[in-house]
Structures are given as structure tokens and as C-alpha cells.
Amino acid sequence: MKKIFRKELVLFVLAILIFVSVRSVYFTQHLNFSDDQAGQATDILQDYREHKIPLIGNRASSPSYQGHFIYQGPAYYYMYFPFLYLTNFEPISSSYLFMLFCAVMIIPLYYGMKLLIDKRTAILLVIIYTLLPYYVAYTRFHWNPNYLLSLLPLLLLLMGLYKKYKTQKLFFCIAVLVGILFQFHYAFIFVVLGLVIYYFFIKKVSPFFLIYFFVGFAIGFSPLILFELKHDFYHTRTLLLFIQHYKELDSAGSIYTPHYYLSISFMLFVVFLGLTKKMLPKGRSFIITCSILSVLLFAWTAADNFHKPQQSFWSPAPYWSYVDEYNAYQIIESQNLKDYNVANLAYYNTEAYFIKYLLKRDKEAINYDDYYHNKYLFVVKKSNTKIFDTLSYEVAFFKPSKLLKTWQLNDHYNLYLLKRT
């Protein structure tokens, strides 16, 4: 037993070191902390300062109708908060801490797969989770689908423990966790349906366990249930509106968006390994197979990640990264102005959420939503265009005005300071 434990300890240390190392290469340059991350961090910061516990989270990437939206659960905010709090709400440190959390999840992932299927599939899934570029990219930054992926090893661990002990308490814990995970992203519904089919139609657990499943799921999903009761069944009424006006709905996120499939793809790997476990090689052949898979995935990851990127991952603007955004924030703070606002015209969304998040963190007392009465305006804009040659309302309505200063942020973007005259 001690020999087995030592071998597994070596596996964990090696896998975690590789996991952290491949994601640490140009971590800041790859880091995605743009509109979604900054806007959600701002919500969390405000709730923390006002001592509020939210019952809903961020808006889901779903259709909308005349200002009616579907919101995800607050579990993402609850989980996001400790990473921010422990790092003084700092984007890089909190993101890196989340990445370390994802690395530690290798341990429950291994034991969960070992109990649920066998040791060989556990090792293979650890290699895939550690080195597949798709998972490398999405375990480096805050986002609700990424958090969902990071918690799936806990689900596998509970499933493995239930397979071994078959207790009602463990099945109930699985249902509670499934309810919690469903709060993070509604694409998880496909995994929920898969689990129902697996347990009640394939494994044929007692129909009585349906009670445990529904009650446990409801407990895990309870913040949104409480929100419904408190707000006159907002989501229920919104869904009815969607059904009644389905031809008039504003478009939802594209089905080709990669993050929709993070949790689904991960659980499909589990299913695939479970179905093919008898065909997997053994002994030295298995070691060779794992080595070849590791080398191939490492080479693929290296090709995608081991070079300095021209822009952050999923950056809404070319040649624009966290570093440039942070430089703009530092310049703005150094001017010691009071009556100002910020517009980032590098984005399709000009509200400068990231810069404003850092300013709010620093308790800068400005009117963040008013672009009509501010005396000064900082503008991030491409350097090959004229500052006043824009249709953006933040600049178009900031007239009459004059240009006071210009700072070069990189080879493609400048920061301008305008003043009303």
C-alpha cells in the first residue's frame, strides 16, 4: 500500500508541476481579463462592500426579448470571490490562484476515475486534462464555464465513491453538486440528462432515488429558486415570453463558441474511456502509450502557448492585451484628476470595464456612467486614426474639447486625454 501511495504521489507532483508550468509561460500576456471578467469582478466587489449575497449571477448567453434575459446562478460569484479577496482583488494574482486550484483538481480527478472506471483511464484523463490545449487555454482565467470545468473532478470523485459504497448519502451529494454545477452554465443540462440516463436507465438504480436526485438538485440550485420566489418568478415569466415571441428574439451566442463544450467534452472523454477500457493496453505497452500521448499533447500545447502572443486570449481587439490595459490604468491614475471618465475604443464595447474595475477597486470617486458632464475624458484608440474622427458617443458628445496629452501604449494604440473647453 505504501508503495502504491508513493507512486501516486510522484504522479500527482509531476502532473501538477507540468500543469502549472505549461500555463505559466507568458501567463500575463495570454491572460483574459476583459469585459466579462472585469464586469463580474465589479459586481462581486460592489456586493462585498455593500455586504450583499446575490441570488443570481451573470447574464447567460441566451436569447433576449425587450430587455428580458436569463441569468445564471450565483455559484460562480461565490467561487470567484475567494480568489479575488485573497489577492486584494488583483487580476493577475487571482487568475493565477485559480489556475493553481485547477492544478490541484488533478488529485480528485485521478481518484474519481480510478474508482469509477480504473487506474489506466484515470492516468489518461489526467494527461488529457493537463496537456490538451483546449483545457490549457480555459484553465488560465476566470469565467463561469472554466469554473465548471474545474469542479468536474469533484463530481467524478463522488461518482466513484458512490460506485464503491452505493450509499444514499453519496447519491444525494452527487445530486446537490449537479445542482450547483448547473448554476455555472446551462449547457451543463446535457451532462445532467446524461447522468439521469446513466443512473436510472443503464445502472438501473432504484426509482426511489429519483426523490434524492430531485431534492438534492433543488438544494444545489436553491439560490435561483429563491430568486424566483422573491421576484415573482422572473425567469419563468421570461421563458414564457421567449416561447410566445420566439420569432422576435434577439440572437443568442453562436453554437460554435468553444466554451459551450468544455464540460460536455470533458464528460465525453469519461464516457469514451469507460467504453474502451477493455481495449486499452496494459503493462509496458500502456506506459509507452501514455508517453506518446503526453509528448504529442505537449508538442501541440507548446505550439499554441510557448510563444509571446500578439494579444490576450479572446481579446476583443487585435494587438491588445492585459499589459496594455493595465498600462493605461496606471497612466490615468498618475494624472490625479477628479472629474473624468474613460472610453476604450479598441473594443466593440467602449465602456472600459477593466480600467473602471481597477479604478473602483482603488475607490476612485468619479461618475463612471456619465459621459455628458465630465470635465476630462481618457480615450484608448488606434494610433493610426484621428482622435476626433469617431462616431463613438463618448467622444462625439464631448464637445467642444481639446487634446491635452497623448501616451503611446504600444505600436498600435494610444491613450488620449481630452478636456472640455
Indicate the residue type of 399: K
**Position 369 in a domain:** yes
Look up residue 324 and give its three cell numbers. Answer: 496594455
Q: Are residues 186 and 282 in the same domain?
A: yes
C-alpha span between 420 and 400 (Å, rounded): 6
- Band (pLDDT 50/70/90 cuts) for residue 130 is very high
Between 277 and 384, the higher pLDDT residue: 277
The answer to which of 35-49, 194-208, 240-254, 377-391 has the lowest mean pLDDT is 240-254
Q: Are residues 129 and 245 in the same domain?
A: yes
**Position 313 in a domain:** no
pLDDT reported for residue 253: 62
pLDDT (tens digit per residue) in 74-120: 999 999 999 999 999 999 999 999 999 999 999 999 999 999 999 99
Q: Are residues 84 and 215 in the same domain?
A: yes
* Residue span of the structural domain in which 270 resides: 2-305
Q: Are residues 185 and 276 in the same domain?
A: yes
For the chain, first and last CA: distance in Å? 79
Q: How many residues does the chain have?
A: 421
Q: Quick one: which of 191, 127, 205 has its CA closest to 163? A: 205
Q: Are the CB atoms for 326 and 417 separated by under 8 Å? A: no
What residues contact 295, with CB distance under 8 A and at least 6 apart? none
pTM of the model: 0.94
C-alpha span between 18 and 96 (Å, rounded): 15
Q: Are residues 358 and 273 in the same domain?
A: no
Nearest-10 Cα torsion for 372, 376, 382, 387: 80
- Band (pLDDT 50/70/90 cuts) for residue 157 is very high
Q: Are residues 69 and 205 in the same domain?
A: yes
Residue 191 in this model has a pLDDT that exceeds 90: yes
Which among 305, 335, 358 is the end of a domain? 305
**Position 287 in a domain:** yes
Q: Are residues 250 and 352 in the same domain?
A: no
**Position 312 in a domain:** no
pLDDT reported for residue 355: 95
Between 66 and 300, the higher pLDDT residue: 300
Residue 269 in this model has a pLDDT that exceeds 60: yes
Which whole number is the average pLDDT over 143-161?
98
Q: Are residues 277 and 415 in the same domain?
A: no
CA distances from 202 to 25, 195, 263 (A): 44, 10, 21
Look up residue 344 and give its three cell numbers. Answer: 476604450
Q: Are residues 301 and 330 in the same domain?
A: no
**Position 315 in a domain:** no
C-alpha span between 351 and 165 (Å, rounded): 53
Which among 280, 305, 330 is the end of a domain? 305
Highest mean pLDDT among 17-21, 61-65, 396-400: 17-21
For residue 311, the tally of other CB atoms under 10 A from its CB is 18
Q: Are the CB atoms for 383 and 412 separated by under 8 Å? A: yes
Q: Are residues 106 and 144 in the same domain?
A: yes
Q: Quick one: which of 346, 316, 354, 343 has its CA closest to 397? A: 343
**Position 233 in a domain:** yes
Residue 61 in this model has a pLDDT that exceeds 80: no
Q: Are residues 299 and 328 in the same domain?
A: no
Q: Are residues 257 and 109 in the same domain?
A: yes
**Position 198 in a domain:** yes
Number of domains within the chain: 2
Residue 277 in this model has a pLDDT that exceeds 70: yes
pLDDT reported for residue 246: 79
Residue 264 in this model has a pLDDT that exceeds 60: yes
**Position 310 in a domain:** no
Which among 305, 340, 362 is the end of a domain? 305
